[in-house]
Amino acid sequence: MGKDVIVACDFASAEQVFSFLDKFQDEKPFVKIGMELFYAEGPEIVRQIKARGHKIFLDLKLHDIPNTVKKSMAVLSRLDVDMTNLHAAGTISMMEAAIEGLTRPDGTRPMLIAVTQLTSTDQERMTNDLLINRPIDEVVMHYAHNAKVAGLDGVVCSPLEAGKVHATCGDNFCTVTPGVRFADGDVGDQKRVMTPAQAKEIGSDYIVVGRPITAAADPVAAYRRCVSEFCD
Ligand code: C5P
């Protein structure tokens, strides 16, 4: 499985994202495009970043009835993204429909990963707001297992959960982990963090890194530091 650093390009406009990507002359980072940029700029932003030679993780977290998700995934697949995602809470049928929609006539498709429980959802909110009484770790692993049963490629999870996801779903089921910070960097609003080196140690397959790279004085140097700690 390709270990890689995915740069979360949480920018509000095409202008901002291109001025950031222009700093990279010698490498083409794997880029995550989230809802803010996608809703601001539309699908053209995906085509433009792709045309510059970057791989793209389109982070839109789909969650709807299976038929709608299937048709929407077919549209995203035609955009030629490399990875996209959905909420495992949409059920196994929704995830299976998503795979169908994503699969191109030649049998290829982008990687599809599931969000289990958002890291903003803690045990108390899950119990009180969602009326899910089981321990959150068990729910996360159950949703990861459902994603595997539906044929997905992996889950987004905290680096702290990556080892357990692999133990539950196998080493080939990939873990994409945000919440990464340098040992000497700002934690910001992330609560449970790991360094790129620790994420590698615990078995993350991809790390998603935003502000430690995008807000760095030298983003290219910060990206290279992530790659050397995580991939080498
Ligand atoms: O700037 P930072 O490194 O915190 O960015 C992390 C990225 O990963 C953001 O795009 C954030 O939305 C995303 N993410 C996260 N935690 C999750 C899921 C996604 O931080 N559980």
pLDDT in tens, 59-98: 999 999 999 999 999 999 999 999 999 999 999 999 999 9
8 A C-beta contact, residue 149 and residue 176:
no
**Distance from Cα 148 to the centre of ligand 1, integer Å:** 22
Gap between the Cα atoms of 81 and 181, Å rounded:
26
Region 126-143 average pLDDT: 95
Positions marked active-site: 61
Confidence (pLDDT) at 185: 86
Task: Give whole-number Cα distances, 125 to 100, 117, 118, 132, 158, in Å.
Answer: 33, 11, 11, 9, 18
Sign of CA dihedral 44, 45, 47, 48: positive
* pLDDT above 70: residue 117: yes
Region 1-30 average pLDDT: 95
* pLDDT above 70: residue 1: no
- Quote the DSSP letter at residue 88: G
Ligand 1 neighbourhood includes 208 CB (under 6 angstroms): yes
* pLDDT above 90: residue 5: yes
Burial of 22 (0-12, 13-18, 19+ CB in 10 A): exposed
Percent share of the chain, pLDDT over 90: 91
Gap between the Cα atoms of 112 and 141, Å rounded:
17
CA-angle at 59, arms to 20 and 130, nearest 5°: 135
Residue 108 tokens, joined: 């290829």
Confidence (pLDDT) at 189: 78
- Alpha helices (runs of H) in 129-218, residue ranges in sequence order: 136-149, 159-169, 196-202, 211-214
**Banded model confidence at residue 109, pLDDT cuts 50, 70, 90:** very high
**Distance from Cα 106 to the centre of ligand 1, integer Å:** 33
What integer best gives the mean pLDDT of the chain? 95
Ligand 1 neighbourhood includes 190 CB (under 6 angstroms): yes
Ligand 1 neighbourhood includes 210 CB (under 6 angstroms): yes
Determine which helix (DSSP H) or strand (DSSP E) holds 16, and give its type and residue range. Answer: helix 14-21
* pLDDT above 80: residue 47: yes
Determine which helix (DSSP H) or strand (DSSP E) holds 63, and give its type and residue range. Answer: none
Residues in contact with 184: Cβ distance below 8 Å, sequence separation at least 6, in sequence order:
none
Residue nearest atom 20 of ligand 1, based on CA coordinates: 178
* pLDDT above 90: residue 160: no
Q: At what angle do helices 92-102 and 66-78 cross, to 10 degrees?
A: 30
Gap between the Cα atoms of 84 and 224, Å rounded:
24
Which of 48, 87, 42 is CA-nearest to residue 69? 87
